[in-house]
A and B are shown apart, each in its own frame.
Chain A
Amino acid sequence: MKRWLILLWFVISPVHAELSYELLTQLTESPERLQGEFKQEKYLAEFDITLLSSGVFNYQRNEFIRWQTLTPIENELIMKPDSITSSQGGDDLISLKADHDPATKVLTEIFFAVLTADWYALSEYFFANGDYQNNRDWQVKLTPRKPTLKQAINQVELSGDTLMRKVVLHEKNGDITRIDFLNLQQ
């Protein structure tokens, strides 16, 4: 079904930009569940500093993503298709419902799509442009299609092999978030 949908996508879309989505679908796996560690570097353009953090994550496709920052602060972010909850030591700090808030919906959809390599969902939001080597390693640059998304994101760079290994998010205000995925286990 999904493959068919992607094919349909090609039929009805301009050809040049979307080619890499097809390729990416072939190159990458989209595991049902995945866990691993992450390292995050967040560059704040405003202050010209980089905030480092690290932790662990796991996900169950289409169900949830659990993103647990361990250092320097402890924080747990649980994303479900219809909500985001951020908590610290059992206290809910943020809880957003997607049906209330379209921005939340877009955000969770994109984050889900990035993490689970859901190229079809990403193709809804981004134009893709990329290349690959050794029939294995690939890099792709995503630029937002919708003006609403352009308000927040300049570009997303993704790279990996059969799995996603690195995400670089360029925000509009110049902030850059780099996330490396390590010790991935299916």
Chain B
Amino acid sequence: MIYRLLASKVAAIVWGLLVITLLCLAWIKQPAIDTSMMSLLPESQQQPLVREASAQMGQRFAERLIILISGQDKQQLQQATQTIAERYQQIPEVDSVVWQIDDQQIEQSQHASDAYRYVLLTEKMRLALQNNTEAVAKRALSMIYSPMQMGGQNLKADPFGLSSAWRSAQSPLINIEMDEQGYLRLPGDNGFTNLLIIQLKGDAFSINVQQAVLSVFDELTTRFSEQDIELLPSGLLVHADAGARQAEKEISTIGLGSLAGILILMLWVFRRVRLVTVLLLPIVVGCAVATAVVMLVFERVHIVTFAFGAGLIGVAIDYALHFICERQRHQLVLPRIMPGLFLGLFSSVLAYAAIAMTPFPGLRQMAVFSAVGLIAAWLTVVIALPRLTQNDPLKELSAAKRLQQWQAACPALAKNNGFKYGLAILTIMAIAIIWTGKTEDDIRLLQTSPAHLLEQETRIQTRLGLNSSTQFLLIPCDQLEQCLQQEEAIRPWLSQLVDNGNLVQFSLLADRLPSLKRQESNAYLVETLYNAELKKLFTTLNLTDAAATQAMEMMQYGLANRLTAEQLPNNGLGGILSSQIIHTDHNGLATMVSLTASQPRQLAQQLSLKKHFPELVLVDQVEAISSLMADYRQQIMIWIALAYLLLFVILFSRYKLAAWRIIMPPMLASLFTLSILMLCLPGINLFHIMALILVLGIGLDMGIFLTETQQAANTWLAVTLSVITSLLAFGLLSLSQTPVLQHFGLTVFLGLAMIWILTTLLRQPSQGVE
């Protein structure tokens, strides 16, 4: 009944329409390829506030593209900068472009703090005012007589030079200067380097945004290279694009390479073009449907998903090969192979479903991809293949015979005690190696971006004086004032850490925006200073009493002014500052203290926050993600062990003790592969372990099919072909430049090779001849 239904025309038409609809829908949706390793990982289990802060930091980097424009001729360079800026302003994916700052803006930013000069005191000035107002007066006098006291200091408005002391203590946020026309440029350069800051509107991972922005970049680079003007980009977009391009290139090379290999192999084995076409149909449908569904379900497709795509070819072809090989022996195949085919699908989908339960968004996507792809390939096999091969004659496969002859020469060692013990010893050794083996979970080793791009990025960030440290302190509070007071409270402690050499530097918002409480106390100190020293100073300078009175009045008038967050400069470059404040909808407020540690790995220990300031949180994104990877590496190992257990239970119900024969090869192969990797590599990580899921998936089908057909020669041929195709795909993948893909490729390659060897050696010697 079920076979008749599957074989009906209706089923074929419905299935065909469904596939076409899915593909059309996916075609309409714009693709976005994700190359970030972060998005593979689960949302951190850190506090929501920490998550928010990390996200805002990431956002800042993601939405900004900086272009450095270098050349020897200043005027030409300015023209080029202008042209580039105008070109970018026309692109809809670009929100704003900053490349020039006018006189007015400069004056504004320089004197923004002047109105608050009576309440903005540097730490040093506060100390001086608390201890000895006379020294401050002396300092003022020496400044007045100094030959180079510049900066438009007004003696009445600021006789003690408070404003210039404050201003000169403010370290610049970014290492940029302006030329005479206000163009942003990098200092300290042979020749000239102008700078352009682009704020993007779209997602940096979107291929459309990448193309829109970078095609213009390429066009401009070519255009200005004639004038010897060099353009250098910096920003997430560049890396996302490079990663996507590299992945695209590799996927197509690997895809085409393995497809070509499969074609040649199949043509050689089956010697009929039509048959090979039929064979490839389920793979093509499976991959296409899987890609379409993933594109429809998920916002972005991750490149690692494509690695599973390569794996999918290997698994999906199992069903087709199994069918075609059997079809050469029997007219009516489906009822014969259905149990094995179904169990193969069921066990694989179950394994992937288990993966989908894990909290990894990336894994979920891969699981959906694989499960959907397998189901689609399977359906194509059972619905379409019987129709397509309806009139094919039975034919003996010479390749099957040859394989069998070759195998006969190979010892079957299932009953050989020496082999058994040897295997047992090897297994124990493997477990011991894995138990004590090295792991390497540092996320930085998994950068998808090419090394030269990363180097360039670091160079640009350093030249811009941007803090590339991924560590920061988070100060949670209900109101900004509390955060600022807390910052002021931790300042001596941080300074001490700098003095000890534990910290290279830190940057506090409170150094630019003192708390109101601090401003209050500053006002008091300044008033004391004026009362004690102003008259004396003015008399020394032979200034009139009236002038002194005026200065006093100005002070009393201005003393009530308070600097608040709203008054901080927020345009262009100033925007960098406001990002030190983290606002969340539900989790309150926090300020971020960026830190540069001399030894980042020991910072947590050196800070000993728990002891000093338990309410602060040290956030280390790299460390957090790396330890998360370590965590999940261990968890996935347990998940895989559980999957084996579950599968054994399922298989046992049908095959009884023979289930061992199915489970053993992938299990041992996984153990051996892992131990070999641990011995040969600096360390294994999450992705090596994840690849073992594929080893399980492919290896299991092999065992099931062989057991189902009692190791018939044609089945042996089917599984061997399937292994070879997978080896081809993953072997090519292990040559990838993308570390994650490479890890996958290598692991699966080794695993499958060993499964095949083990299966051959562990076969039942009495069977396999028919």
Contact = CB atoms under 8 A, between A and B. Distances in A.
A38 B542 CA distance: 22
Given A103-B167, A146-B178, A151-B107, A93 B155 contact: no
Most buried by B among A103, A147, A152, A177: A147
A134 interface: no
A152 B152 contact: yes
B145 A51 contact: yes
B141 A73 contact: yes
Contacts of B142: 69, 73, 75, 77, 86, 88, 93-94
A118 to B, nearest CB: 15
B139 A93 contact: yes
B180 A146 contact: yes
Interface string B423-465: 0000000000000000000000000000000000000000000
Given A47-B547, A152-B151, A173-B154, A94 B143 contact: yes
B151 A103 contact: yes
A153 B182 CA distance: 17
A66 B167 CA distance: 25
Contacts of A146: 177-180
Interface in A119-159: 144-148, 150-153
A147 B182 contact: yes
Contacts of A144: 180
B139 A111 contact: no
A96 B168 contact: yes
Nearest to B74: A12
A104 interface: yes
Contacts of A101: 168-169, 171
Interface in A164-186: 169, 171-173, 177, 179
A146 B103 CA distance: 10
B156 interface: yes
Contact of A111 (B102, B110, B148, B542): B148
B180 A86 contact: no
A53 interface: yes
Given A75-B145, A147-B106, A94 B180 contact: no
Nearest to B180: A145
Contact of B135 (A93, A103, A177): A93
A49 interface: yes
A4 B177 CA distance: 26
A161 to B, nearest CB: 21
Interface string B325-338: 00000000000000
A103 B703 CA distance: 75
B147 A46 contact: no
Contact of A100 (B152, B171, B179): B171
B245 interface: no
Most buried by A among B106, B138, B542: B138
Nearest to B107: A151
B541 interface: yes
Interface in A77-103: 77, 86, 88, 91, 93-94, 96, 100-103
Interface in A2-61: 12, 38, 40, 42, 44, 46-47, 49, 51, 53
Contacts of B541: 49, 51
Contacts of A42: 144-145
A163 interface: no
B189 to A, nearest CB: 12
A147 B171 contact: no
Given A86-B142, A151-B110, A103 B147 contact: no
A44 B182 CA distance: 30
11 contacts: A44-B155, A47-B156, A69-B142, A69-B146, A73-B145, A73-B540, A75-B146, A91-B138, A101-B168, A103-B151, A179-B147
Top 10 nearest A-B pairs (CB, nearest first) are A93-B139, A145-B180, A173-B152, A75-B142, A152-B150, A101-B168, A147-B103, A111-B148, A152-B151, A86-B142
Given A42-B145, A49-B541, A73-B141, 19 more contacts: A12-B74, A42-B144, A46-B154, A46-B156, A47-B543, A49-B543, A51-B145, A72-B540, A75-B145, A77-B146, A93-B138, A111-B147, A147-B180, A148-B110, A151-B106, A151-B107, A152-B151, A177-B147, A179-B147
